[in-house]
């Protein structure tokens, strides 16, 4: 069936109508369907996991662990935290000179949020954003990758069965034409896109026509820093897990490991042993396999290249793991296959010199026994998610905001910040009394303003006290209503 623009416009119009009623409900009412969905995920994970497994190619076990479980955790997080996070906040108004009163800050839903959902973790990446959007009071329209259409249709049905109105959370046409029309539509109030940097730029260009705000989770080329004091066994096991899970089709898959020379040989040996005994979670699909073979061929021609794991061309179960320096890293950048370049470095400064050649900053891992040093390195890494002595797994934690910088996009999903990212702040300032000297003040009020400035912000207690006294004197001297 070909894409029908009229059907898309009708679905978006219905979503706007549904959102006007949904957004007026208290958060506690919006959470009730989330509770029902959570319970069903726990009671019957196999039914939904089998849809994911059949469509994406991963095992049912991995679908439950990497898709169903984190979706249930997202439900639990929202049930625990959403009411407090979204509650209006009262602030005193103190700083504007004669303006006395208070303010209330509310978190207002955008309206209709469009989700452009990828195929690598279709259920979790869709659900984590969709649930936050709905709980925040938005309608959410879901456009799946053509490779994950059945998964998102099944998730949509589970949402509707849980009590979310169908018009509030429709599943749209999965075609590329529908995606292009969706991000350009003036009926959309917010876009959440997960995908490549190239497509992310096209999304932004379309969104700019209507000044539609967007959250973009884009490509990664994630770094691992293995310091000389690291538990090398743990580091190798964690990196092997990161390569194997979802067969390397993970945005925060480890793709470059900077290993201090003292432990580089040991790390490579242990990583080789781990990967030799454990193939990928499931075989690569034909497209991914073709890209992996092309990458392996390209890496073989770069200076300093050395294979760590022996891999035959066409082997769909073995990742590409090599050792090399800057040129090897450059040749590997931008891939979305199970591939890792191990770069021995003299120290952390050397690691950052090599790492700086990449503009991606989505996730990173640091292996060291020194937590203070790990925090210092994390700040320099610049990535949105930094795992200390772990790899990939924290990306599924519901309480953690997740997002990148540079080529990896901006904005977040997950955690308190991800929930608030589905709202816009509205400040309501309430004035008390009738005293409004600023309505009529002119140049003659300068001494009064200067006295107030000192009273509020002088660098010493004595200075602030003097400012208050001057302010009271000037207030008596200057009366805007005097004849």
* Nearest C-alpha neighbor of 215 from the set 417, 12, 8, 11: 417
Find out whether 354 and 325 touch, Cβ atoms under 8 Å.
yes
pLDDT of residue 2: 82
Query: What mean pLDDT is predicted for residues 306-333?
Result: 93
Do residues 289 and 141 both lie within one domain?
A: no
* Domain housing 461: 439-477
**Does residue 329 lie in a domain region?**
yes
Do residues 18 and 68 both lie within one domain?
A: yes
Query: Residue 480 above 70 pLDDT?
Result: no
**Does residue 408 lie in a domain region?**
no
Q: Six-digit token pair at 483?
A: 């004849």
pLDDT of residue 483: 45
Indicate the pLDDT class of residue 444, thresholds 50, 70 and 90: confident
pLDDT of residue 334: 84
pLDDT of residue 1: 58
Burial 226-240 (b: 16+ CB within 10 A, else e): bbeebebeebbbbbb
189 by DSSP, 3-state: which?
A: coil
Q: Six-digit token pair at 90?
A: 């009262």
Q: Dihedral of CA 222/126/128/211: which sign?
A: positive
Do residues 248 and 391 both lie within one domain?
A: yes
Query: What mean pLDDT is predicted for residues 344-363?
Result: 93
Find out whether 136 and 106 touch, Cβ atoms under 8 Å.
no
Total domain count, the chain: 3
Do residues 165 and 297 both lie within one domain?
A: no
Question: Residue 335: CB partners within 8 Å, gap ≥ 6?
Answer: 255, 291, 295
Q: Dihedral of CA 198/201/206/212: which sign?
A: positive
Do residues 295 and 346 both lie within one domain?
A: yes
Do residues 267 and 348 both lie within one domain?
A: yes
Query: What mean pLDDT is predicted for residues 13-31?
Result: 98
Do residues 289 and 373 both lie within one domain?
A: yes
**Does residue 94 lie in a domain region?**
yes
Query: Residue 95 above 50 pLDDT?
Result: yes
**Percent of the chain whose predicted confidence (pLDDT) is above 90:** 83
Do residues 303 and 207 both lie within one domain?
A: no
**Does residue 431 lie in a domain region?**
no
**Percent of the chain whose predicted confidence (pLDDT) is above 70:** 97
Domain containing 94 — which CATH number? 3.40.605.10
Query: Residue 211 above 50 pLDDT?
Result: yes
Do residues 139 and 251 both lie within one domain?
A: no
pLDDT of residue 64: 97
Query: Residue 125 above 50 pLDDT?
Result: yes
**Does residue 406 lie in a domain region?**
no
pLDDT single digits (tens) 130-181: 999 999 999 999 999 999 999 999 999 999 999 999 999 999 999 999 999 9
CA distances from 252 to 363, 383, 435 (A): 5, 10, 57
Q: Dihedral of CA 243/248/250/256: which sign?
A: positive
pTM of the model: 0.93
Indicate the pLDDT class of residue 356, thresholds 50, 70 and 90: confident
Do residues 171 and 310 both lie within one domain?
A: no
Do residues 203 and 248 both lie within one domain?
A: no
**Does residue 459 lie in a domain region?**
yes
* Nearest C-alpha neighbor of 70 from the set 402, 367, 336, 420: 402
pLDDT single digits (tens) 363-382: 999 999 999 999 999 999 98
Look-up of token digits 């890494």: 381
Q: What is the mean pLDDT of the chain?
A: 93
Q: Six-digit token pair at 362?
A: 């989505």
Domain containing 265 — which CATH number? 3.40.309.10
Q: How does strand 320-323 pair with strand 306-307?
A: antiparallel
Find out whether 219 and 334 touch, Cβ atoms under 8 Å.
yes
Query: Residue 123 above 70 pLDDT?
Result: yes
**Does residue 433 lie in a domain region?**
no
Do residues 114 and 249 both lie within one domain?
A: no
Query: Residue 248 above 70 pLDDT?
Result: yes
| Residue 256 CA neighbour count, 13 Å, CB half | 30
pLDDT of residue 410: 93
CA angle, corner 461, sides to 459 and 467, nearest 5? 80
What is the dihedral angle through the alpha carbons of 471, 472, 473, 477, rounded to the nearest 10 degrees? 100
280 by DSSP, 3-state: which?
A: coil
**Does residue 410 lie in a domain region?**
no
Q: Six-digit token pair at 427?
A: 């400040």
């Amino acid at each position: 069936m070909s894409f029908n623009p009229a059907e898309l416009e009708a679905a978006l119009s219905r979503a706007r109508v549904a959102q006007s009623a949904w957004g007026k409900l208290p958060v506690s009412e919006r959470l009730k369907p989330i509770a029902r969905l959570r319970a069903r995920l726990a009671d019957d994970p196999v039914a939904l996991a089998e849809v994911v497994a059949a469509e994406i190619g991963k095992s049912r076990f991995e679908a439950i662990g990497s898709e169903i479980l984190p979706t249930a955790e997202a439900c639990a997080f929202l049930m625990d935290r959403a009411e407090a996070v979204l509650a209006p906040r009262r602030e005193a108004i103190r700083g504007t000179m004669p303006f006395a009163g208070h303010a209330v800050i509310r978190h207002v839903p955008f309206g209709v949020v469009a989700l452009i959902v990828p195929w690598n973790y279709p259920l979790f990446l869709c659900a984590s954003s969709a649930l936050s959007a709905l709980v925040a009071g938005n309608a959410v329209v879901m456009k799946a990758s053509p490779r994950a259409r059945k998964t998102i249709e099944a998730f949509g049905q589970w949402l509707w069965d849980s009590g979310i109105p169908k018009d509030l959370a429709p599943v749209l046409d999965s075609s590329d034409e529908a995606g292009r029309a969706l991000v350009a539509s003036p009926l959309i109030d917010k876009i959440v896109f997960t995908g490549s940097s190239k497509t992310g730029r096209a999304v932004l260009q379309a969104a700019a026509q209507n000044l539609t705000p967007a959250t973009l989770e884009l490509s990664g080329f994630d770094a691992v820093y293995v310091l000389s004091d690291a538990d090398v066994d743990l580091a190798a096991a964690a990196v092997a897990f990161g390569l194997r899970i979802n067969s390397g089709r993970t945005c925060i898959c480890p793709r470059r490991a900077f290993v201090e020379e003292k432990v580089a040989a040991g790390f490579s040996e242990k990583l080789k042993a781990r990967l030799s005994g454990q193939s990928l979670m499931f075989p690569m699909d034909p497209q991914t396999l073709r890209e992996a073979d092309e990458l392996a061929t390209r890496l073989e021609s770069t200076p300093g290249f050395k294979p760590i794991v022996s891999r035959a061309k066409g082997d769909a179960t073995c990742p590409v793991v090599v050792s090399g320096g800057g040129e090897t890293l450059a040749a590997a950048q931008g891939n979305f296959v199970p591939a890792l370049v191990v770069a021995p470095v003299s120290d952390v400064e050397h690691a950052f010199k090599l790492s700086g050649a990449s503009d991606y900053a989505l996730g990173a891992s640091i292996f060291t026994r020194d937590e203070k040093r790990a925090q210092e390195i994390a700040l320099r890494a610049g990535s949105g998610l930094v795992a200390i002595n772990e790899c990939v797994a924290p990306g599924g934690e519901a309480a953690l905001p997740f997002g990148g910088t540079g080529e990896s996009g901006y904005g977040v999903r997950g955690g308190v910040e991800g929930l608030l990212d589905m709202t816009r702040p509205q400040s309501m300032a309430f004035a008390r009394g009738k005293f409004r000297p600023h309505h009529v003040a002119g140049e003659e009020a300068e001494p009064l303003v200067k006295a107030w400035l000192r009273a509020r912000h002088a660098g010493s207690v004595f200075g602030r006290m003097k400012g208050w006294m001057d302010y009271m004197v000037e207030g008596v001297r200057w009366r805007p209503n005097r004849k």
